[in-house]
Amino acid sequence: MKTATLEWIAKAEEDWSVATSLARRRKTPVPNSVCYHCQQCAEKYLKARLEEAGVLIFKSHDLPYLLALVAPHEPLWSGMGQALLNLSQYAVKFRYPGHDASEQQARNALQDCRAFRKIARAAFGL
| DSSP string over the chain | --HHHHHHHHHHHHHHHHHHHHHT--SS--HHHHHHHHHHHHHHHHHHHHHHHTPPPPS---HHHHHHHHTTT-GGGGGGHHHHHHHHTTSSGGGSTT----HHHHHHHHHHHHHHHHHHHHHTT-
For the segment 38-86, what is each residue's pLDDT rounded down to a tens digit?
999 999 999 999 999 999 888 899 999 999 999 999 999 999 999 999 9
Q: Is the pLDDT of residue 94 over 90?
A: no
Domain of residue 103: give its range: 3-123
* pTM for this entry: 0.95
Domain count, the chain: 1
Which CATH number characterizes residue 17's domain?
A: 1.20.120.330
The mean per-residue pLDDT over the stretch 24-31 comes to 92
